[in-house]
Amino acid sequence: MASQTPSEILERIGVTRIAFDKGEAGSREALIDYSRALIASLEIPSEFMQRTFWAEPAQSAIIRIAVDTKLFQHLQEAGSAGLSPSALSEKTGIDVVLLQRFTSHLVAMNLIAFHDGVLLATKLSNGLAADNYQQSIGFCYNASRPSFNGFPEYFKKNGYKPPTTSGTDGPFQSAHQTEKPFFDWLVASPPYLDYFSSFMSAYRAGKPDWFDFYPVESHMVEGFDSSISDALLVDVGGGRGHDLATFAKRYPSHPGKIILQDREPVIASVVESGAENPFAAQAHDFFTPQPIKYARAYSLHSILHDWSDDESVKIIENLVPALKRGYSRVLFNEIVVSEENPTLAASNMDMMMLAHLNVSERTEDQWRVLLAKGGLKIVKVHTCPGVAESLIEAELF
């Protein structure tokens, strides 16, 4: 977003408010963006410093304490009656004087409220009380934050160059004093694997899925030919099948089979759960040749952004022989970074990838070059207002 005066931003906020009142997609996110821009246009440097280096880090630390003491849950249970500082102190075990200092900061940051002598939950604090957000806070504070705090020292030592693509000598390894790649560290460091899973579920919560803004009926269902293959959709590296389960609910009368693929331990956990899933499950390593031939569509949700260009090309090359020219499509649900107007959601994730996996998010031009190296061309990049990830539709050259 180009630099604008406060008056210009306020005018845009007024126009967007009308769209928000009409429930237009993306208007809520646009209002947040304009509000941030308004703050940036109004803040003086001293205020910026205090907010960035005092207020926000302090809030993060207090929120982490709130997880350990169930502060948000206690306020949620109290409802509109609220809790006095002394009552909340008794429930959390935090000294009442210290608690009042903590909660005063959270009130100032608009996270909780204080009225008539009692502390009150807000819609936001109630949301953070949910288990997946509580675990997400543990992941973000204990696993991610040390990596970001270590950026200055790490990049000074390596001459301010991007880390190598090995995934074993980046900011994450430096901060946590480990040689393990990020995902290996998660597995070896309980409970952070569960925390990360919660973080990923929370990251996408409340946002449209790719099949909400991709024309499934006209681009996938229409033209499906069971004589070519009985597979409609293969979710490559699809985890435990969240996307496919939601897809099946959205399109209950879809033709053909929908198939989940992931590593053997993940598929085993899906099978062992005993749940009746609307999809078939198959163990598959996407660094090996794709076993299901000529499916109508293959979906890869946030897969390639975890890997370097060379590794991503290998993933694509193992998929390409399974495609039928003029029939099969590959659907990459990924962030496409705008160079001129990068969104905070995109830049946030790019910093996460830099901090943890030594890789990066990609622009549309970078995606075109990468996919071409693997033998694919982009048909169209489908987007949805307010959604960080796009749907890159590709096919064989």
Say which range, 17-21, 73-77, 196-200, 307-311, has the weakest mean pLDDT.
196-200
Sequence-distant (≥ 6) Cβ neighbours of residue 283 within 8 angstroms: 261, 262, 263, 264, 267, 268
Residue 170 binned pLDDT confidence (cut-offs 50, 70, 90): very high
Tens digits of residue pLDDT in 229-269: 999 999 999 988 999 999 999 999 999 999 999 999 889 98
Q: Which CATH class is domain 210-396?
A: alpha beta
Q: Do the beta carbons of residue 210 and residue 389 sit within 8 Å?
A: yes
From CA 327, how far away is CA 213, in angstroms rounded? 20
Instruction: Using the structure block, give the residue that is written with the tokens 């062992």.
Output: 272
Six-digit token string for 237:
């590296």
pLDDT reported for residue 1: 53
Strand partners for 297: 233, 329
Cα dist from 257 to 250, 260, 271, 326, whole Å: 15, 10, 17, 20
Cis peptide before 265 (omega within 30 of 0): no
Q: Is the pLDDT of residue 2 over 70?
A: no
pTM above 0.85, yes or no: yes
Phi first, then psi, for residue 341 (nearest 5°) are -130, 70
DSSP assignment of 52-68, as one string? IIIIHHHHHHHHHHHHH
Domain 65-129 has CATH 1.10.10.10: yes
Share of residues in the chain with pLDDT > 70 (%): 99
The distance from CA 395 to its chain's CA centroid, rounded to whole angstroms, is 26
Q: 281-320: per-residue pLDDT in tens? A: 999 999 999 999 999 999 999 999 999 999 999 999 999 9
User: Domains of the chain: which residue ranges?
Assistant: 65-129, 131-204, 210-396
Q: What is the pLDDT of residue 165?
A: 67
**CA gap 17, 111 in Å, rounded:** 22
Residue 373 in this model has a pLDDT that exceeds 60: yes
The pLDDT assigned to 200 comes to 85
Structure tokens at 174: 């430096």
> What amino acid occupies position 165?
T
**Cross-strand pairs, 231:** 257
- What residues are annotated to the active site? 305
pLDDT tens profile 60-105: 999 999 999 999 999 999 999 999 999 999 999 999 999 999 999 9
Tell me which DSSP letter residue 169 carries: S
Question: What would the two tokens of residue 186 be?
Answer: 């998660």
Evaluate the CA torsion angle 36, 40, 43, 49 in order and state its sign. positive
Q: In what helix (H) or strand (E) does residue 389 lie, and over which residues does it extend?
A: strand 389-396
Express each pLDDT in 95-135 by its tens digit.
Answer: 999 999 999 999 999 999 999 999 999 999 999 999 999 99
Please write down the long-range contacts of 118-125, taking CB distance under 8 Å and 24 or more positions apart.
Answer: 118/81, 118/82, 118/83, 118/84, 119/75, 119/82, 119/83, 119/84, 119/85, 119/88, 120/75, 120/78, 120/80, 120/82, 121/72, 121/75, 121/76, 121/78, 121/79, 121/82, 125/72, 125/75, 125/76
For residue 163, how many C-alpha atoms fall within 13 Å in the half-sphere facing its CB? 25
Is the Cβ–Cβ distance between 341 and 291 less than 8 Å? no
The stretch 126-151 carries a mean pLDDT of 97
Say how many Å lie between the first and final Cα of the chain, rounded.
35
Q: For the chain, what percentages of helix, strand and coil (3-state, to nearest 5) are there?
A: 55, 15, 30
Rounded Cα distance between 44 and 46, Å, is: 6
Q: Do domains 65-129 and 210-396 have the same CATH topology?
A: no
